[in-house]
């Protein structure tokens, strides 16, 4: 999943054929950021990217309907891609469990990407670690089931967004540690000071052992348009590649 998000952040869609040489989905990815950091916009952009790969529909799970479609990418209004995104709105943890447990009964082609936005809202209903572990297991099993239905050489990716807090409690720390164990690929969104009338952040992608850490400067303009540029390379750090090479959370 890190590769899908990397293509979104590099904005290099013209170099992507979409019909052949599709890379494997890769390990599950955890998207982390504070409230208003652009997690939903990036999830939606990843959904559009996957919908254009010709591999199957995309299943986007969120607690409540989006008020409007994020304007993050130039493909936002592509009707062919939008038609391949299936939105479902489980309003509670119980309903989310029910939806995931019945995924094998769903008709139609299997999704090539499973997205969950607002994981923290479901975890808040029952903060016990065993409930979080059960939900994670269901998500992983559902993605594995979709991969089996897709056939040999085709995998269903899994990407989950989690809201982080500046002052995390002990339960939040336990949840994050558990998630990081099963989601080796992670992308941290850290707010940064943008220009007037803009909202900016630093996106740090750790692909889970499949490549180097990469960082971008992401700016959301007042009209919601997303602008992306590589993060400046740290001087004197040959291992930083396009971005900073500091480990762990940015």
Summarised one tens digit per residue, pLDDT across range 226-242 is 888 888 864 334 344 43
Task: Please compute the mean of the pLDDT values over residues 197-222 and round it to a whole number.
Answer: 83
Whole-number pLDDT of residue 143: 95
Backbone phi and psi for residue 191, each to the nearest 5 degrees, phi listed first = -60, 145
Whole-number pLDDT of residue 116: 98
Given a cut of 90, is residue 22 above it in pLDDT? no
- The closest alpha carbon to 188, from 58, 32, 13, 50, belongs to 32
Residue found under tokens 């975890």: 123
User: 3-state secondary structure string, the chain?
Assistant: CHHHHHHHHHCCHHHCCCCCCCCCCCCCEEEEECCCCCHHHHHHHHHHHHHCCCCCCEEEECCCCCCCCCCCCCCCCCHHHHCCEEEECCCCHHHHHHHHHCHHHCCCCCCCEEEECCHHHHHHHCCCHHHHHHHHHHHHHHHHHHHHHHCCCCCCEEEEEEECCCCCCHHHHHHHHHHHHHCCEEEEEEEECCCCCCEEEEEEEECCCCCCCEEEEEEECCCCCEEEEECCCCCCCCCCCCCCCCCCCC
Whole-number pLDDT of residue 247: 37
| pLDDT class of 215 with cuts at 50, 70, 90 | very high
Most confident segment among 101-110, 125-134, 178-187, 213-222: 178-187
Please say whether the dihedral angle defined by the alpha carbons of residues 246, 203, 121 and 103, taken in this order, is positive or negative: negative
Task: Please compute the mean of the pLDDT values over residues 180-209 and round it to a whole number.
Answer: 82
Task: Please compute the mean of the pLDDT values over residues 42-49 and round it to a whole number.
Answer: 90
Task: Please compute the mean of the pLDDT values over residues 141-148 and round it to a whole number.
Answer: 94
């Amino acid at each position: 999943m890190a590769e899908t998000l990397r293509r979104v952040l590099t904005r290099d869609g013209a170099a992507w054929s979409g019909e052949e040489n599709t890379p494997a989905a890769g390990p599950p990815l955890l998207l982390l950021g504070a409230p208003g950091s652009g997690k939903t916009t990036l999830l939606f952009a990843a959904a559009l990217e996957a919908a254009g790969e010709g591999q199957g529909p995309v299943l986007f799970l969120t607690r409540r309907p989006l008020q409007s479609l994020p304007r993050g990418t130039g493909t936002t209004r592509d009707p062919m891609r939008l038609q391949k995104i299936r939105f479902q709105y489980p309003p509670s943890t119980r309903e989310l469990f029910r939806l995931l447990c019945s995924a094998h009964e769903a008709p139609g082609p299997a999704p090539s990407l499973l997205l969950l936005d607002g994981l923290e809202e479901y975890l808040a209903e029952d903060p016990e670690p065993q409930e979080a572990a059960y939900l994670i297991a269901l998500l992983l099993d559902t993605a594995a089931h979709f991969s089996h239905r897709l056939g040999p050489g085709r995998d269903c990716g899994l990407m989950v967004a989690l809201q982080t807090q500046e002052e995390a409690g002990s339960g939040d720390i336990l949840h994050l540690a558990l998630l990081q164990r099963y989601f080796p690929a992670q992308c941290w969104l850290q707010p940064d000071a943008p220009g007037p009338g803009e909202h900016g952040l630093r996106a740090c992608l750790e692909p889970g052992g499949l490549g180097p850490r990469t960082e971008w400067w992401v700016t959301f303009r007042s009209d919601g348009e997303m602008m992306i540029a590589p993060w400046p390379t740290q001087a004197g750090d040959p291992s930083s590649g396009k971005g900073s090479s500091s480990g762990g959370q940015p």
